[in-house]
Amino acid sequence: MDDLRALKEIKRYKNGKFEMLSDLVAREISFTINVSNKRLVSIACLPENLQELAFGFLFSEGIVLRKKEIISHKFNRNDLNINFELQIPEERIIKFLQTGEKTSGCGSTLSSAISGGSEAFPKIKLDAESILSQMHQFQLDSVLFKQTGGVHSAGLILNDKLTFSADDIGRHNAVDKVAGMALQNDVRLRDSYLICSGRISSEIVKKCIRLGIPTIVSQSAPTSEAIRLGWEYKIYIIGFTRGKRFNIYTGFEEALFI
């Protein structure tokens, strides 16, 4: 097949009998992010948008705070790794390695801890019908999911338009990929909102906090810790966005809908 799909022989039970057939599945690889030729993390992921995944991961985990801290990078597709030379305090990497928690998603890796909070929800306008329309189109565009049933999707909406999108076997990876796309194109993430297919866990909220993304919209549900963080750090969380409805879990008194 291709880099993203593999054809596997399976046996299926259906209508009281077994049958042999071929089935499409999503490919999985292990991709390593190095800093100064030392392994930082290895990520189980879909073999697509790997450089964007690495950029987004560095920013969403608070290892890199601004683009100029990345001195250089070298991507090796054959060996499935990327090496960064960074101009950052060594304490950031130490903190990531010491405080990182195992993420809850497919292809799980470390997610660094956060502390602090925010005083007020951002004053942004949200269009309820546009959110529903964007989610409907987002679901229609998820071709790889329709083919394999084995990936999550994430996207960034800017000016009511899906500007960046990506698939991955892990929810966290898909978010990092679209964040990396935006950062490489110098897009202000505070002007966007995240749209995603999977569960909104605390790690997804933490990534959006670090990236400055003010709103998360998912077709699935948030966890209790995600909601707590949303209230503490003033991130709008919208879940179960399906058909003609959605649920607002945080900031519902402050949210400005048009």
Query: Which residues carry out catalysis?
Result: 106
Tokens of 129: 């019908």
Q: What are the beta bridge partners of residue 237?
A: 216
Give CA–CA dist 223/175, Å, rounded: 17
Phi and psi at residue 78, in whole multiples of 5°?
Answer: -65, -40
Give CA–CA dist 174/180, Å, rounded: 10
**Size (the chain), residues:** 258
Name the DSSP class of 221: P
The DSSP annotation for 64-87 comes to --SGGGEEEEEEETTTTEEEEEE-
